[in-house]
Amino acid sequence: MENEIEEFKPWGMELKVYLMAMHLSQLAGFIIPFGGLILPLVMWLTNKEHNRDIDNHGKVIVNWVLSAIIYSLVCFVLTFILVGIFAFIVLGICALVFAVVGAIKAHDGVLWEYPVTIKFLK
């Protein structure tokens, strides 16, 4: 019998796939209200103690989502002078692009800090 150390597989996935799924889980917010906040938060909080990469990627994602919520509030206020409509469009594109780029980088083993993110968690 071989003594093998069992590798930690969060939610039954390989680590790189799980990290990629954490980033892409933000896109749930486009379908389910607050899904883009709740799903990555649950994925991060349930496994952050098991792996440092999960903790680091989770913090990056939560920082971005909280920043995006603040930016959305600013966009809402700016809609009264019509600039907010365009800002909402830009914010939506950023949310989509950042999640996809973050997922690709995570699968490649790189922690990518999302641009224009307020760092609430360090």
Residue 6 has pLDDT above 80, yes or no: no
Check residue 19 and give its pLDDT: 97
Check residue 1 and give its pLDDT: 42
What are 101's two structure tokens? 């780029």
Average pLDDT, the chain: 92
User: ∠ CA(68), CA(72), CA(77), 5° rounding?
Assistant: 150
Beta strands in the chain (DSSP E): none
Q: Quick one: pLDDT band at residue 122, thresholds 50, 70, 90?
A: confident
What's the rounded Cα separation, in Å, for the pair 97 and 19?
Answer: 16
Q: How far is CA 22 from the centre of its chain?
A: 6
Residues 6 or more apart whose Cβ sits within 8 Å of residue 110 = none
What's the rounded Cα separation, in Å, for the pair 26 and 38?
Answer: 9
Per-residue model confidence as pLDDT tens digits over 58-116: 999 999 999 999 999 999 999 999 899 999 999 999 999 999 999 999 999 999 999 99
